[in-house]
């Protein structure tokens, strides 16, 4: 894992393609070809779970299921499950640079249902085999999504009486009377994983590792909470007693209210963290490396009373700490994990990360505070870390240069010897590529020299996020050549 290398951060949704969103089809394979030509050994993506309200990949209906939006429709057309003329006549979004999630919801999902109706008889045996092999999570997920549709797609907390958990007589009766609807969701997962596994195999052949993202929390509106209520701090009415977030800081006066249910770590400890071991094992089956989001939450997490409008009234509560990672190591051995350890870190958080041996993260955009020395300046990096120009939550380099305070701007110019003719973005990438960090990553937006119009996410905001896309034109031979040269120059 620790061999010196570099890579690109680009989510599957941002890939080029003809059907409204990046998917697991030709655009993904072209991007692998581009990475190979550019001399890159790593492709970092965001969580690939099925998204709901707000379209965030960090709020999924399942910690295990894949997003049906990423299914390549061309394979369904080639198999005779869809008519290309019908698909071409459906509006999945006309803007090749932006995703329209509303159109995908109302138009792509019906296409998948149409494909299922044409495929279900011929694929019945394959679907049954897939269901049995993935039953540990797929049974609850497919049932959850079917009942969710039956209840007007509301969160399970608002479902009609009798559906409040997965073990009630009403749920059992629903399972027997709605087998076709349940099987549709099995169908979506069958094709998602069939296509994902094929893409992953090609990446492995090319020597390209896929780095994925694991959100520390799961969504309240999820099959995970509904089917495993004992793992979470829920009240008698099934609603969470507390939810997750971050305290007020320099970036947010009221903190960040994420709203995810808090784990009942005591109960999980009694189960020897079996759910977490399964989740990590499952993730590493699909990914070469897993980046765990909000790593500091394992040492201590900010717990907010359910129903509070902001995160201000939360309190710090001790997390599972070393005990969790001992259980993971005993079960799985050494695992390839990156700890997202950004933000304010206590000595205890640093100690936990060092105990695990996981590399932490360094973001160059955080380095240039002209008032003080920073751990994010490259001369302070250790080898066991992952260096980024910025992440999906940050501005692009050019956006940052445009908005930063003058003194910090001048500090960055002086430190990195930035040259406007070369491009500030390339100077930033040189700073990261030339560092001692064993792994260097930059967003695709920074390789393309784009401003904040191409930003992926504005934290603590709803709407307009997760929509940015590239086109095939962006993946030019000249860009690949320039990336390869820089990568070779710095021994990556």
- The residues near 131 (Cβ < 8 Å, ≥ 6 apart) are 138, 139, 142, 186
Catalytic residue among 181, 393, 408, 451: 393
Q: Bridge partners of 337?
A: 290
Phi, psi of 325 (to 5 degrees): -75, -25
Provide the token pair at 470: 């590239």
Residue 88 bears catalytic tag: no
Residue 293 bears catalytic tag: yes
Count of other CB atoms within 10 angstroms of residue 135: 11
Count of other CB atoms within 10 angstroms of residue 420: 9
Phi, psi of 408 (to 5 degrees): -70, -35
Q: How far is CA 430 from CA 6, 448, 489, in A?
A: 12, 15, 10
Residue 36 bears catalytic tag: no
Q: Under the phi-then-psi rule, with left for phi > 0, alpha for psi from -120 to 50, and beta for the rest, what region is 336?
A: beta
Percentages of the chain per state (helix, strand, coil), in multiples of 5: 45, 15, 40
Provide the token pair at 371: 């008032």
Phi, psi of 315 (to 5 degrees): -140, 155
Catalytic residue among 224, 299, 340, 365: 340
**DSSP structure class, residue 396:** P
Q: Report angle CA 362, 365, 370 to the nearest 5 degrees.
A: 110
Residues in the chain: 492
Separation of CA 201 from chain center: 20
Q: Which of 41, 101, 27 is nearest to 464 (CA)?
A: 101
Angle of the 274-286 helix axis to the 322-332 helix axis, nearest 10: 60
Angle of the 135-150 helix axis to the 179-205 helix axis, nearest 10: 130
| Residue for token pair 């399972």 | 175
Catalytic residue among 72, 75, 213, 293: 293
Strands (E), 378-479: 385-388, 439-443
Question: Which helix (H) or strand (E) segment is 205 a member of?
Answer: helix 179-205
Catalytic residue ranges? 293, 340, 393
């Amino acid at each position: 894992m620790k061999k010196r290398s570099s890579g690109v951060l680009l989510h599957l949704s941002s890939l080029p393609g003809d059907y409204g969103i990046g998917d697991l089809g030709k655009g993904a394979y072209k991007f692998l070809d581009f990475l190979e030509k550019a001399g890159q050994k790593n492709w970092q993506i965001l969580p690939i779970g099925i998204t709901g309200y707000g379209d965030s990949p960090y709020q999924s209906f399942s910690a295990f299921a894949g997003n049906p939006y990423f299914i390549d429709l061309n394979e369904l057309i080639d198999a005779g499950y869809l008519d290309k003329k019908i698909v071409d006549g459906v509006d999945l979004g006309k803007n090749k640079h932006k995703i329209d999630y509303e159109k995908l919801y109302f138009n792509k999902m019906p296409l998948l249902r149409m494909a299922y109706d044409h495929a279900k008889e011929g694929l019945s045996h394959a679907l049954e085999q897939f269901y049995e092999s993935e039953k540990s999570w797929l049974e609850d997920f497919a049932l959850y999504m079917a009942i969710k549709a039956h209840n007007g797609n509301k969160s399970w907390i608002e479902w009609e009486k009798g559906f409040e958990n997965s073990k009630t007589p009403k749920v059992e009766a629903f399972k027997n009377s709605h087998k076709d609807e349940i099987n549709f969701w099995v169908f979506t997962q069958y094709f998602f994983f069939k296509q994902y596994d094929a893409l992953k195999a090609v990446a492995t052949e090319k020597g390209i590792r896929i780095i994925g993202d694991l959100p520390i929390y799961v969504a309240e509106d999820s099959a995970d909470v509904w089917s495993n209520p004992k793992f979470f701090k829920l009240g008698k009415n099934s609603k969470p007693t507390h939810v997750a977030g971050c305290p007020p800081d320099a970036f947010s006066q009221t903190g960040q209210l994420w709203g995810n249910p808090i784990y009942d770590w005591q109960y999980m400890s009694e189960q020897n963290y079996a759910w977490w071991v399964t989740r990590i094992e499952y993730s590493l089956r699909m990914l070469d490396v897993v980046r765990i989001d909000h790593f500091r939450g394992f040492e201590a997490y900010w717990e907010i009373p359910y129903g509070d409008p902001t995160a201000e009234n939360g309190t710090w509560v001790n997390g599972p700490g070393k005990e969790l990672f001992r259980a993971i190591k005993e079960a799985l051995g050494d695992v390839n994990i990156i700890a997202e350890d950004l933000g304010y870190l206590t000595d205890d958080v640093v100690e936990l990360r060092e105990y695990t041996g996981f590399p932490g993260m360094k973001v160059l955009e955080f380095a240039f505070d002209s008032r003080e020395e920073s751990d994010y300046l490259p001369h302070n990096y250790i080898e066991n870390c992952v260096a980024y120009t910025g992440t999906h939550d940050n501005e692009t380099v050019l956006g940052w240069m445009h908005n930063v305070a003058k003194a910090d701007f001048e500090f960055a110019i002086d430190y990195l010897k930035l040259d406007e003719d070369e491009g500030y973005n390339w100077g930033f990438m040189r700073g990261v590529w030339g560092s001692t960090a064993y792994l260097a990553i930059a967003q695709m937006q920074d390789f393309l020299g784009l401003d904040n119009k191409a930003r992926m996410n504005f934290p603590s905001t709803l709407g307009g996020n997760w929509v940015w896309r590239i086109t095939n034109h962006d993946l030019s031979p000249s860009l690949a050549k320039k990336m390869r040269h820089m990568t070779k120059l710095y021994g990556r």
